[in-house]
């Protein structure tokens, strides 16, 4: 293969190579901090774009398009002379050889940074994992958008009330920010889209259930924010089911620990996450959360030049967070900035330990309804809602994306309608297969 002048110039740089695996909040912040610095930086990700995950629920509910919250990596690294991007998936880390095995061959490194983020945690329930929908990626958000629109269209044809209610029963498992925001958005769709555009269907037959095992929604927020969020949800008509454990789901019926059941063809699981580790560093992996144990400098346990930042990192050395830092964007961004500073001082002064500075928490439940925890300030309502809009708008990568998001939000605000209601890629449910002895396969449901 012929080498371009640009690649030749990159290879000729007399600097150590930093390979960053994962272009989420942590990985993207790190390459920005190392841009123009004395390192050769390679960003490796299986997708060719950065996804702004806090707004995935708006893609799922038709308020935003996928391209509004995604930004191409190559547009980001294009102006960075010492940074290149490679689309690929890591198969294994070979720490003794200082290289990665990928689906496109080997990549050598002087410093390796793992910022692989998380995946949905179904806590070992394989049937639920197969049947329930997730909200961790753009493709999953688009599946949810197609699914609820398909359910609306199917409900129009159904004359049997039980079957129609089953189609319009939406169960969201997990009362964290993602679950709360998704429930509020679906409740507003019931008040606007279903009521005015699906007049053949009785509006009250669509029900949204938010299920959580905790005694309150938004368990990491203040009691005041928790109470406000629950009230806002109930005002929108969401049924909040607390202290409730989902034990099973077969695609048609949800089962709970107390023995009760609920008919539903749509269950969306936002109840937990676990790390997305790569093979080769199992001795440093904390099995239950699937996160790498790191020291106060974000160095992976037992290694000298491998680091983990963001949701995949487990630092239990901070007495304020004995179970590790919360898996949120501000932690990831701060860890990336801190690691960049330590890498730059590696040949000089001693590295400094990471100290997380909490920026507060916020969640939106619907129009004019949001909650904010900022130190001693804990409040909700319109001011919190406008603050949530501003913070998220300014956090989106790329000027074009900010303009597009602002335009969509303005139209939704003025028209009371979700912008995108197109079933471009219909969601098709897959059959659940159970492996039997002697290689036999049983198809269920």
Q: What is the CATH number of the domain that holds 168?
A: 3.50.50.100
pLDDT value at position 437? 56
Residues 170 and 255 in one domain: yes
Is 59 inside any structural domain? no
Measure the CA–CA gap between 97 and 100, rounded to whole angstroms.
9
Measure the CA–CA gap between 413 and 117, rounded to whole angstroms.
33
Is 444 inside any structural domain? no
Domain-terminating residue out of 313, 344, 375? 344
Average pLDDT over residues 77-82: 95
Average pLDDT over residues 289-306: 97
Is 325 inside any structural domain? yes
Does residue 414 carry a pLDDT above 80? no
* DSSP at 431: P
List of residues 6+ apart from 329 with CB closer than 8 A:
25, 53, 54, 395
Measure the CA–CA gap between 253 and 444, rounded to whole angstroms.
14
pLDDT value at position 443? 55
Residues 160 and 250 in one domain: yes
Catalytic residue at 181? yes
Catalytic residue (choose from 181, 200, 287, 435): 181
Residues 104 and 224 in one domain: no
pLDDT value at position 440? 54
The CATH number assigned to the domain holding 13 equals: 3.50.50.60
pLDDT band at 3 (very low <50, low <70, confident <90, very high): low
Does residue 193 carry a pLDDT above 80? yes
Is 61 inside any structural domain? no
Is 56 inside any structural domain? no
pLDDT value at position 359? 83
Residues 104 and 168 in one domain: no
pLDDT value at position 439? 53
Is 329 inside any structural domain? yes
Is 239 inside any structural domain? yes
Residues 299 and 334 in one domain: yes
Percent of the chain, pLDDT > 90? Answer: 81
pLDDT value at position 349? 80
Residues 235 and 371 in one domain: yes
Closest CA to 201 of 209, 193, 212, 213: 193
In three-state secondary structure terms, 30 is helix
Residues 263 and 383 in one domain: yes
Is 421 inside any structural domain? no
CA angle 235, 238, 240 (to 5 degrees): 105
Alpha-carbon dihedral sign for residues 390, 395, 398, 401: negative
pLDDT value at position 401? 87
Does residue 348 carry a pLDDT above 70? no
Measure the CA–CA gap between 136 and 276, rounded to whole angstroms.
12
Identify the H or E element spanning 173: strand 169-173
Does residue 120 carry a pLDDT above 80? yes
Residues 251 and 175 in one domain: yes
Does residue 13 carry a pLDDT above 80? no
pLDDT band at 438 (very low <50, low <70, confident <90, very high): low
The domain of 286 spans 5-46+88-120+274-344
Residues 150 and 206 in one domain: yes
Residues 186 and 230 in one domain: yes
In three-state secondary structure terms, 140 is helix
Residues 284 and 149 in one domain: no
Residues 135 and 270 sit within 8 Å (Cβ to Cβ):
yes
Average pLDDT over residues 122-151: 96
Residues 116 and 191 in one domain: no
Burial class for 326, CB neighbours closer than 10 Å (0-12, 13-18, 19+): middle
pTM above 0.95, yes or no: no
Measure the CA–CA gap between 111 and 308, rounded to whole angstroms.
11
Does residue 444 carry a pLDDT above 70? no
Query: How many domains does the structure of the chain reveal?
Result: 2
């Amino acid at each position: 293969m012929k080498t371009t002048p640009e690649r030749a110039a990159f290879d000729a740089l007399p600097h150590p190579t930093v390979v960053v695996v994962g272009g989420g909040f942590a990985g993207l912040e790190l390459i920005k901090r190392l841009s123009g610095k004395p390192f050769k930086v390679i960003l490796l990700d299986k997708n060719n774009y950065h996804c702004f995950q806090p707004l995935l629920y708006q893609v799922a509910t038709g308020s935003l398009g996928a391209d509004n919250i995604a930004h191409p990596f190559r547009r980001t690294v294009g102006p960075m002379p010492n940074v290149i991007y490679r689309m690929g998936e890591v198969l294994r880390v070979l720490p003794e050889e200082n290289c990665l095995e990928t689906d496109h061959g080997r990549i050598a490194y002087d410093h390796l940074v793992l910022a692989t983020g998380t995946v949905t945690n179904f806590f070992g329930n394989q049937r639920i994992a197969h049947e329930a929908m997730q909200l961790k990626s753009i493709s999953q958000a688009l599946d949810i958008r197609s699914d609820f629109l398909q359910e609306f269209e199917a409900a129009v044809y159904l004359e049997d009330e039980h079957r129609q209610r089953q189609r319009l029963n939406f169960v969201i498992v997990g009362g964290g920010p993602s679950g709360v925001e998704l429930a509020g958005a679906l409740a507003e769709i019931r008040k606007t889209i279903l009521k005015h555009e699906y007049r053949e269907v009785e509006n009250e037959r669509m029900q949204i259930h938010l299920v959580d095992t905790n005694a309150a929604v938004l368990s990491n927020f203040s009691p005041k924010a928790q109470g406000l969020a629950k009230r806002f949800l109930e005002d929108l008509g969401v049924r909040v089911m607390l202290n409730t454990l989902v034990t099973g789901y077969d695609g048609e019926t949800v089962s709970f620990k107390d023995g009760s059941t609920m008919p539903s063809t749509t269950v969306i699981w936002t109840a937990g996450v676990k790390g997305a580790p790569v093979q080769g560093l199992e001795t440093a992996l904390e099995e239950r959360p699937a996160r790498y144990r790191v020291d106060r400098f974000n160095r992976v346990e037992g290694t000298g030049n491998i680091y983990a930042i963001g949701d995949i990192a487990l630092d239990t050395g901070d007495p304020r967070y004995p179970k590790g830092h919360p898996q949120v964007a501000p932690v990831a961004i701060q860890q990336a900035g801190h690691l960049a500073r330590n890498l730059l001082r590696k040949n000089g002064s001693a590295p400094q330990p990471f100290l997380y500075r909490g920026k507060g928490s916020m969640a939106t439940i619907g129009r004019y309804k949001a909650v904010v925890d900022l130190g001693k300030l804990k409040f909700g309502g319109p001011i919190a809602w406008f603050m949530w809009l501003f913070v998220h708008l300014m956090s989106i990568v790329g000027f074009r994306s900010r303009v597009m998001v602002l335009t969509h939000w303005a139209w939704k605000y003025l028209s009371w309608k979700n912008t995108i209601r197109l079933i471009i890629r219909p969601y098709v449910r897959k059959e659940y297969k159970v492996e039997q002895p002697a290689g036999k396969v049983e198809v269920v449901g």
